[in-house]
Chain A
Amino acid sequence: MADTLMPEIVEAPPVEERRRAPRVGRTPTTYVLRFVATAYLFLLVAWPVSLVVTRTFDGGFASIQSLLEDPDTVVALQLSAYVAFFSVLINTLFGVGISLLLVRQQFPGKRVLNALLDIPLSVSPIVVGLALVLVYSGRNGWFGSALSSIGFQVIFSTPGIIMATTFVALPLMIREIVPVLEEIGIEQEQAAQSLGANAMQRFWRITLPSIKWGIVYGVVLTLARSLGEFGAVKVVSGNVLGQTRTATLVVEEKYLNFDQQGAYATAFLLAMVSVACIVVVAIIRPKNHA
């Protein structure tokens, strides 16, 4: 192939996109707005959370240490981690699948499905728990008795806790991925297709890398939500010490038993995991991604 001779096309390279909003002049309104926002966040979020931290460390690291020496609490923390892991895994797989379905396919009932996906966010987790008990309870559940007759117990057991947690955190992944999928459009995939890529290759090489950061954020939110779930888990777990008691249930138990130090220490550990996730993602995320 001979080189095509021509004068080099001179064209200005694109100006680096700037994410920062243009500066507006500082007026008294600016300061008032800043004050209101700061005060609001301080009173509602920063102060209460910081008190949890200070309470936890009232006596140095002793409270954390005693917490980790209590075998029942350790089991509860492990159970929470286990449940959160599966909830994140299930929600990621289904979240990607359902998001692709919602954005890329047209089918009757799409709007209904879309509305259904918001139910977990809009109904109280207690209701979710009770609903699951109605269906899966081993004694009189609609589907549960059949399952328990083959020896599979859902309610008052780990599968029930995972199910309730997954249910509650379901929309978070989808609501992160759908806008990203809508924004990237289908042209890149069509280009890949015309270059010979089949459906799997298009998914792994084009779609997945494009929605990567949506998934990462979805994972962080789902993880935080799963670790923190209380109401639905309380109903379906049975709250059996050392078996189906999760970390959030431990916090309540300790608090009601006047073990405030222990309650704050457990709450602190739970909060730290979520905060750590968000901080890590904020650090590793490339700057040019919105």
Chain B
Amino acid sequence: MSIEVRGLNKKFGDFVALEDVNVSIPTGQLTALLGPSGGGKSTLLRIIAGLEKGDSGTVNIEGVDATHLPAQKRNVGFVFQHYAVFKHMTVAKNVAFGLEIRKRPKDEIAHRVDELLKLVHLSQFSHRLPSQLSGGQRQRMALARALAVEPSVLLLDEPFGALDAKVRKELRDWLRRLHDDVHVTTVFVTHDQEEALEVADEIVVVNEGRVEQVGTPDELYDEPANDFVMSFLGEVTHLGGVSLRPHDIELDTRPRLAGGVEGTVSRMVRIGFEVRLTVLTVDGDEVSVVITRTHARSYGLEEGSTVWLTPADGATVIPRMVAAS
């Protein structure tokens, strides 16, 4: 394990940011800390980096107890949401910063900076100032700067949060490919479940200062530990005492299967190939159902139609929690 966090607590005044957090982050993987805003995931990342101090608990990086090490001695690379570029230095100087601090020979620095700028596709901008770069370019420069010192772990705090949707998606793919090349243990914070599911090898779901679940994207999606994880990773609806995904409900216009719940279609919205239905069941539930356009047409569905709903075979289903409904 590359990073071991044990019994970590952190309070800001009365606000509990982290409560008895225990996480192990595997070496060489791309791990996402996923959770809603204000859930404590950024605080956790900053404590790992040494930019913030926990009230109690320990942080161990690559077998070294880092709990009381200052940030500059932890050998972590940190990438900030708002880039934190050194505004008065050129792109090349920014990337060279960590190496110059380490007093490496000049030609070695020049060579390494060159290599890194090529890696992040900024070679032609090496003499520009950061103010002449776009947001995505600045963030790639920040990433090169963090990688320059060959950190034992790379930490990214909402790295694409300040970028527009299209660039964010492109950079996300690029990060995944970069990681496949560089293989440095990487942890990134995100509140975007799609980003986490798409990029990460492993996801740590953090909510209200606690770790809710740790697992691969598939594990989390298929076997969510609780209602929160399930609802955070995708749309959730409730059918007869269980929570499940709207596309995991089978619909029929006749009571064919045992346990089918009868209801009336109260709303129908068509979005491209799919149709979203709101069904009012006889039990008094309001259930969301997603079916394909073709499917809907073959049943001749319209608002007011009577339908029978059953959870599909193999659907992810968890008992409905009273508090969550």
Contact = CB atoms under 8 A, between A and B. Distances in A.
B143 to A, nearest CB: 11
A195 B85 contact: no
Interface of A: 1-6, 8-9, 11-14, 17, 184, 187-188, 190-198, 201, 205-206, 209-210, 212, 288
B178 A4 contact: yes
Contact of B133 (A14, A193, A197, A210): A14
Dominant SS among interface residues on chain A: loop
B149 A196 contact: yes
Contacts of B86: 188, 191-192, 206
A288 B131 contact: yes
B271 interface: no
16 contacts: A1-B115, A6-B173, A9-B170, A12-B134, A14-B134, A190-B51, A191-B145, A194-B49, A194-B50, A194-B71, A194-B146, A195-B77, A196-B98, A196-B102, A197-B72, A205-B97
Interface in B128-180: 131-137, 142, 145-146, 148-149, 167, 170-171, 173-174, 177-178
Interface residues of B, number: 48
Given A6-B174, A190-B51, A196-B149, A210 B132 contact: no
A9 B97 CA distance: 25
A197 B131 CA distance: 23
Contact of B134 (A13, A201, A210): A13
A13 B133 contact: yes
Contacts of B80: 187, 190-191
A251 B188 CA distance: 67
B76 to A, nearest CB: 6
A55 B178 CA distance: 73
SS class, residues of chain B in contact with chain A: helix
B173 A11 contact: no
Contacts of B136: 9, 11
Contacts of A12: 134
B295 interface: no
A196 B137 CA distance: 23
A188 B87 contact: yes
Interface in B64-90: 70-78, 80, 82, 84-88
Nearest to A191: B84
B72 A198 contact: yes
Given A4-B178, A9-B170, A210-B87, A192 B97 contact: yes
Contacts of A13: 132-134, 137
A167 to B, nearest CB: 33
Contacts of B132: 13-14
B101 interface: yes
A12 B57 CA distance: 45
Contacts of B118: 3
Given A6-B121, A8-B121, A9-B171, 19 more contacts: A1-B115, A1-B182, A14-B134, A14-B135, A187-B82, A190-B78, A190-B80, A191-B84, A191-B86, A193-B70, A194-B49, A194-B50, A195-B77, A195-B97, A195-B148, A196-B98, A197-B101, A205-B97, A210-B88
